[in-house]
Structure 1
């Protein structure tokens, strides 16, 4: 009795240490337990394995299996479910399937969670047909699906572009004996927004509120975020205040989402009040929060304050990301401090960051101060470009009536396999027409269509 209780206590200790990512201490606890005569059991090893899979990776988790066998502890279905989950977390369908095969070879019967994980892994690997076959296998083997099974299926169908199938399955859940949970609504609302079906997502949100369920913080944050993306600022703020009135604990991300939207709409004073309120409420600032503050200072033209905040973040030990430096470079460009922006860009390169977005800001900044030839030189030196790189230069070349150069750039963008904005195409063609170069405009229109057919 004492030993059973002691092993249970050991397992609780291991679980607690693994949850806090203290794997070395977990290993020490096992060694100390063995010295005291408390032998680890299958639960001990399964818990440690899960910890290694989450913190280090699948291979580290799999190494525990050999230790189990050496200790004379037989793995069970939970062991292999943990390994399958670890493989799935690394998006390794092969390893996930391999663990299922190994389980079957050891005559361990897979359970519902084994199949749920395999189904999720197929969906992550963009193999929806195989994922659905796993679901059919669950039914054929008379294993009762759980809510998580249907949530995985709905989420996977949405991610792979089968939104209508996911909605249809959602509508039929009650006929299968399941009531949609709040998490099910959240999955579908988020996916509808991501696929651009804003109206359908909002209707489902209204349906959720009418169904007797109370939207949670995740629901409100999702709806709020996409309202802001559509520039429905007041509607997004309405949901934010509704979320507050319901007493939900909203995190720094929700605050930063609101502040970002206010900044984009030019409501700098409101953004400032919101960030001040966030600090007063005692929220711990992370990199995203610092980026939002720095962006706010840059919008206000307070670059010195922005750099002081950067220094404060680094002294706190936070690793500022590429967005932090890009915000500062953009702020310097907008303030007309091109030399300062160039120095910060070189510093960013020295730190090893991806500088594509920062370079796009720098190119646009050069064009704004009339240094378009220097901007073209930077453009030519870039190894990687995106459609925004091209678009910025095309628009600025059109602004100074260099339409022939803009047309060459437009065609090279299409031939590089990138999509162009209709506004860019219209600006170049209309510009050539305004200069009386109608033949050139017509020729360009034909070349654009030909290039699209060849490269899209």
Structure 2
């Protein structure tokens, strides 16, 4: 009894040390225990294997098996499941399959978690068909799937772009008596959100409410974010208020999401009140929060307040990111302060940031202020461009009725292997037809088709 209790205490100590990433101390604890006559068991070594796989690597975890055998302890299904999980973390399908094969050679029967882990590995590597076949193997081997099996399957299908199949599977499982848990609903709601399928997401959210499950903070935050992203601001605000009424911990991210949405919908006073409440209840702002506030002040034309916030963030030891600088450059352009925007852009380059988005804002700002020739000069002076850079110039050149130059830029964009907006293409063709002839427009359309065939 004393020995069993001592081994149990040893295992608790090893688990605590492994969670704290103190693997050397865990090894030392095992050695000290053996010296004191307390022998480790399979749980001790399995815990150590899990620690090595998580914090060092699969190979380090696998080496523990040899020591187990030397100590007269045989690995079990948990041992190999831990190693398969370590191989999956590294996306090493070969190692995962090797462990499954070695398990079978030793006469150890894989359990549902062995196949769950293999499925997860296959999905991570973008092999959904093979993962689905593994699920069928589970059924053929008369192994009962668990909730985690269905969650891995549904999540894997969603992440590999098969959300329709995931929903179909979900419905089929329900017809066969499967009662989904909140985690399953959250997986599907999150995937529908990312796909912009707002109506489907809201229907599933209502189904969750009617199922007897209470949506949790993750559910509410995901649904709120999707509502705002799809410009359903009223519904998003209702979700936030419901979350607040139910006493869920709405975090800084939720507040910033709400502020951003209120700003986009033009409800500046509500955004202002929300920011004031955020500060009042004592949230410790991170850089993303400061970016939201700086953006709000820039949109209000309060550049001095925006720069004051930037100084405050830096005084608190926060590092400004490329979004901070881009927001300020965009604000300066909208305020007509082109020289200041260019100085800030040059400063951003000196700091080593990726300036493409900021550069696009600067180009667009020049165009909107009527400095098209200067915008073209800046455009030709830089090497890195994307489709948004071209689109901004093409759009503004068309507005200025400089269609031939817009056509040249649009064609060079396609030849560079970038996609162009259909609206830009239509505007150029329409402009060439109005100012030139239908024949010129047809020739341009042919050039576009040829360029697309050669570069897409």
By the TM > 0.5 criterion, same fold?
Answer: yes
Report the CA distance between 1:144 and its aligned residue: 0.6
The 5 Å alignment of 1:82-231 reads 82-231=82-231
Partner of 2:21: 23
Structure 1, unaligned runs of 5 or more: none
* Equivalent residues of 1:49, 1:62 under 8 A apart: no
Q: 1:438/1:93 Cα in 2 relative to 1: closer, same or farther (>3 Å)?
A: same
Q: 1:309/1:444 Cα in 2 relative to 1: closer, same or farther (>3 Å)?
A: same
Report the CA distance between 1:225 and its aligned residue: 1.4
- Per-residue CA distance 1:51-100 (angstroms, 9 max, x = gap): 4544x46x3x5314324534636544333333333333344434433443
* Equivalent residues of 1:244, 1:250 under 8 A apart: yes
Q: 1:110/1:351 Cα in 2 relative to 1: closer, same or farther (>3 Å)?
A: farther
Q: 1:122/1:244 Cα in 2 relative to 1: closer, same or farther (>3 Å)?
A: same
CA distance in 2, matches of 1:113, 1:84: 10
Report the CA distance between 1:143 and its aligned residue: 0.9
* Equivalent residues of 1:34, 1:40 under 8 A apart: no
Report the CA distance between 1:276 and its aligned residue: 2.2
Report the CA distance between 1:177 and its aligned residue: 3.6
* Equivalent residues of 2:84, 2:118 under 8 A apart: yes
Report the CA distance between 1:167 and its aligned residue: 1.6
Report the CA distance between 1:130 and its aligned residue: 0.6
Report the CA distance between 1:351 and its aligned residue: 4.2
Report the CA distance between 1:133 and its aligned residue: 0.9
CA distance in 1, matches of 2:115, 2:62: 21
Partner of 2:414: 414
CA distance in 1, matches of 2:86, 2:350: 35
CA distance in 2, matches of 1:337, 1:149: 58
* Equivalent residues of 2:87, 2:95 under 8 A apart: yes
* Equivalent residues of 1:237, 1:258 under 8 A apart: yes
* Equivalent residues of 1:30, 1:40 under 8 A apart: no
Per the normalisation by structure 2, the TM-score is 0.87
Partner of 1:401: 401
CA distance in 2, matches of 1:287, 1:17: 33
Q: Aligned residues, how many? A: 450
* Equivalent residues of 1:186, 1:219 under 8 A apart: yes
* Equivalent residues of 2:263, 2:296 under 8 A apart: yes
Report the CA distance between 1:129 and its aligned residue: 1.0
CA distance in 2, matches of 1:278, 1:328: 22
Q: 1:407/1:84 Cα in 2 relative to 1: closer, same or farther (>3 Å)?
A: farther
Report the CA distance between 1:182 and its aligned residue: 1.7
Report the CA distance between 1:251 and its aligned residue: 1.6
CA distance in 1, matches of 2:432, 2:420: 18
Partner of 1:442: 442
- Per-residue CA distance 1:390-442 (angstroms, 9 max, x = gap): 21121122222221121122223233333322221222222223324433223
Partner of 2:342: 342
